[in-house]
A and B are shown apart, each in its own frame.
Chain A
Amino acid sequence: MAHMHKHLIPTLAAMTAALAISVAAAVPSSASAAWCWPTCSTSGLLGPGTSTYNGCWNSSGEVCSGWNTWSANGIDKGCYPICDYGGYTQARVLYGFENTERIRGFYTDRALATYVYPYQLWMGGYLRAQVSWAPYTDGRTSYTSWIHVGAV
């Protein structure tokens, strides 16, 4: 056990540092981000029961910002709970924006960093930045996503 801890702690420290670096590079920085989830320096698990409890399009399985004239929404999706050489995680999300009439975005189940602009989704005005858990419908188990979200 002590042997395992000897290696586990440095490994976890390295993974945490790597995650922090990748998060910082991928999404709006803590200083500039107007909204982050779960915080501006951490990632969290997004699954069917996750909610920000602020009236998102879906009452659960979604995190969303408050209403604003957002200019960008960024996500950093980690290699979790599985990750092959192509970054496949078996944990799908839909990320983008929503208003009172519609929710729009892109699907991904890969570990990656993205930046999405409202005008590229043909949306504008007061919006919520959002990321939703998007379960598979083909029989595959849908895992929760390890993800960091930031909008400016």
Chain B
Amino acid sequence: MTRSTTIVAVAASAAVVTAALLLLGSSATGSPPGGELAKMSNQGEPVNPGPGQRHELQNVGARRAWLLAARNARSFYRLSRDDGSVCYAVNSSTDEDRIGNTVCPLTPTSFPTPTAPVLDLSVFESTSHVAGYFHVVAAQGFAADGIVAVALLDQRGRTIARRRAADNVYAIDVPPGRVATTVAAYDADGAEVFRVP
């Protein structure tokens, strides 16, 4: 076997191993494809649901819930359905026997991903009938491990509030007297990787 043949053989073997690892959905380091933007480490604490929570779980076909975090008077939940799919919910009411607004991504692998590292459940409002004239009432949502901060921006793109994303959740109240129109999320390098709307 010549030297060049050996190099080609080694390269081909490496390519096959790499392809196999990608097909298995993980890299050689054990990270999912997409790295920190495609991973949520916080598994949460199991919840013993009350009657109101059980009713809201049933509404989305879920049976079990885990509390990921409580932040800014909101509770953030991960829900599991019998078919193995996962939903996420935020309870922003004062009634603790609630699960809250619930979003169920298409598949368990739909969130988080590098193109969707944030599952935003921020409330937007308009009091004008002019199309597109919306502002943020409250920012809240779920974020991948790779999201380190979330900010509220005004109409000119200036930051009016910025908070660290921790435990894979974030919650930001709009400062009194300010108007936020955008929610933006940033990675460890400070790069904006997601925004709503």
Contacts and interface: CB of A to CB of B under 8 A. Distances in A.
Interface of A: 25-26, 28, 57-58, 61, 72, 74, 79, 83-88, 92, 94, 96, 101-108, 110-117, 119-122, 134-137
Contacts of A92: 197
A121 B122 CA distance: 10
A115 B102 contact: yes
A25 B61 contact: yes
Interface string B75-116: 000000000000000111101001011111111011101011
B131 interface: yes
A61 B132 CA distance: 12
Nearest to B141: A106
Contacts of B103: 108, 112-114
Nearest to B131: A58
Interface in B45-66: 56, 59-61
Contact of A114 (B92, B102, B125, B137): B102
B197 A134 contact: yes
Nearest to B91: A120
Contacts of B124: 94, 104-107
Interface residues of B, number: 39
Nearest to A101: B127
Given A104-B124, A122-B137, A110 B105 contact: yes
B126 interface: yes
Contact of A110 (B60, B100, B116, B125): B116
Nearest to A120: B101
A102 B129 CA distance: 9
Given A102-B125, A107-B197, 20 more contacts: A57-B126, A57-B129, A85-B110, A86-B113, A87-B106, A87-B110, A87-B116, A102-B127, A106-B122, A106-B124, A107-B120, A110-B105, A113-B103, A113-B104, A114-B101, A115-B56, A119-B93, A120-B91, A120-B100, A122-B92
A58 B56 CA distance: 30
A17 to B, nearest CB: 15
A84 B197 CA distance: 19
Contacts of B91: 120
